[in-house]
Structure 1
Amino acid sequence: MKTPNAYDLLKVSTRSPKDCHKEATVREMEQIRQELIELQERLYAENRRSVLVVLQGMDASGKDGLVRKVFSGLNPQGITVHSFKEPTKEELAHDFLWRVHAQTPGRGMIQIFNRSHYEDVLVTRVTDIIDDKEAKRRFAHINAFEKLLQDAGTTVLKFYLHVSEETQRKRLAERVSDPEKQWKYEAGDEDKAKQWPQYRDVYEDVFKHCSPDNCPWHIVPADQNWYKAYFVAHELRNTLRKLDLRYPPSKHERPA
């Protein structure tokens, strides 16, 4: 599965390829999930390496639903999810990566960041908390941080859920009208939606400066939930396959 050039999001489709059929894709998705269960079990048993899944996207791009769809059925002992919200006073008293490092996965674990350290070079720029000069310094720190994780045995997978403005408006409206989704509504959702062009610009800058060959961003068409889940599950499955995970031998000798 090829990742398109991410530097111009207006040229990247938010929908599945035309030759991708929903029914066949959903069937393949179930097969991938079954394989993920086995691969995760090996990762957990091997207890040598780990995986960090970074999920970013505009409001209503479907990060929560994606986590449920892709990771349900896997062993909960081997998966954790963390969402980075507005920093606390204690967190603001430290460098911007201080709160992030404590949440990185231990050996054998898959950690999911539902929003991540990239918020500190996205929201902070749109709201003028940091300027371009500081953003570039932070890009360098983020690249070094992710390289440190990789050197320690953590594979980092970064996904941007690419939703269209039209689909975003529809989903935000559902947060007002649908009783099952009203809990997601926050004051200011509409204002954030109006900032789509500004967020697009800062995201494109992130892709440009924080996409080394060994840790690129994957741009996920996110208008159709079934394809979004398939894309991420497919990439995660292929990544785990490449790790050549093995069950370790017994630590105890069998009795004669």
Structure 2
Amino acid sequence: MKIEEKYKITSKIELKDLPTVSDLAISGEKAARKLDSLSRKLGKFQDVMYAHNRYSVLICLQGMDTAGKDSLIREVFKLFNARGVVVQSFKKPTSNELEHDYLWRHYINLPEKGKFTVFNRTHYENVLVSRVHPKIVMNERLPHVLNEDEITDEFWQKRYDEINNFEQHLANNGVIVIKFFLHLSKGEQKRRILRRLNKEKHNWKFAPEDVKEREYWEEYQKYYEEAVNQTSKSNAPWYVIPADDKAICRYIFAKILREVFKKYTDIRLPELRDEIKEDLELYKKRLLEE
């Protein structure tokens, strides 16, 4: 079975049944070595996609705090042409963003044709963090939601439908949408937070919210599970990948991308027009005679 098939969500799942530690027969050291080769191949694919100029790629990354999103982006895309990949990190909405609907800030940051965009945290925060802390929805000032009691199950179902429609629209217009949940265990998260606290050079990474949000661990797991089940579609699939070992997680992520892109056999370098081909030798001669 291909790695892409192994981790792709095609039926209803329960997160507690999915591993946070990979069972692949590969060490972290070997995974790190293989990652460089995969990264180069992905970079070459982006170059060809840029020349082809009909597709773009949107990669959505979600995971609990300390799941390794930032380091994954750094290590996987470090061999890309810097102009070929853009990373967008979505934090608390600004006052300007709150003057628009919740998808607006994501829509205006979608990739140009030929390029990759990575959403580090995504539009799914609107059915995850907002679900755990529904008071956030009140900041959107929706005309039909005047208090938190009006944020019902029907409200969230409608939001899932809107997200599915959004992603279908993207797919219809040449955006390859691939979504990843970095599946981290609670114990490993605790270890990583303690590392930030114990090592002075990592102190800057720590925020009190990292500890506070752990109190909502079970709620987050419940809503991640629901979001994945509601929105893993053929045009925008979810992949749930084990994240307790960072090196292997990065390898799995890159390997999945490689296997997905191989399916796009129509993405190739464009051919020169016949009239240009016929005169190639003439152009060479002119340059050589300068």
Q: If the length of structure 1 is used for normalisation, what is the TM-score?
A: 0.94
- How far the C-alpha of 1:48 sits from its partner, in A, is 1.5
Residue of 177, 183, 194 corresponding to 2:215: 194
2:39 alignment partner in structure 1: 33
Equivalent-residue separation in structure 1 for 2:178 and 2:24 (angstroms): 26
**Which structure features the higher share of helix residues?**
2
- How far the C-alpha of 1:167 sits from its partner, in A, is 0.5
Identity %: 36
2:51 alignment partner in structure 1: 45
Segment drifting more, 160-169 vs 23-32: 23-32
User: Is residue 2:125 matched to residue 1:104?
Assistant: no
* Residue ranges of structure 2 left out of the alignment (5+ in a row): 138-150, 283-290
Number of residues of Structure 1 aligned to a counterpart in Structure 2? 256
**CA root-mean-square deviation:** 1.7
1:246 alignment partner in structure 2: 268
- How far the C-alpha of 1:250 sits from its partner, in A, is 4.0
Equivalent positions of 1:207-246 (< 5 A) are 207-244=228-265, 245-246=267-268
Equivalent-residue separation in structure 2 for 1:185 and 1:119 (angstroms): 20
Cα distance change, pair 139–209 in 1 and its aligned pair in 2 (3 A): same
Q: If the length of structure 2 is used for normalisation, what is the TM-score?
A: 0.83
Moved over 4 A (4+): none
Letter matched to residue 107 of structure 2: H
Segment drifting more, 131-140 vs 165-174: 131-140
Cα distance change, pair 249–157 in 1 and its aligned pair in 2 (3 A): same
Equivalent-residue separation in structure 2 for 1:35 and 1:55 (angstroms): 21
Residues 103-135 of structure 1 show CA distances to partners (whole Å, capped at 9, x for unaligned) of 010100000000000001100010123533221
* Residue ranges of structure 1 left out of the alignment (5+ in a row): none
- How far the C-alpha of 1:199 sits from its partner, in A, is 0.1
Residue of 75, 81, 84 corresponding to 1:69: 75
Equivalent-residue separation in structure 1 for 2:258 and 2:24 (angstroms): 23
Give 1 or 2 for the bigger CA radius of gyration. 2
Equivalent positions of 1:1-256 (< 5 A) are 1=3, 2-3=6-7, 7-17=13-23, 19-129=25-135, 130=137, 131=151, 132-244=153-265, 245-250=267-272, 253=276, 254=279, 256=282
Cα distance change, pair 230–18 in 1 and its aligned pair in 2 (3 A): closer
Cα distance change, pair 97–230 in 1 and its aligned pair in 2 (3 A): same
* SS, match of residue 188 in structure 1: helix
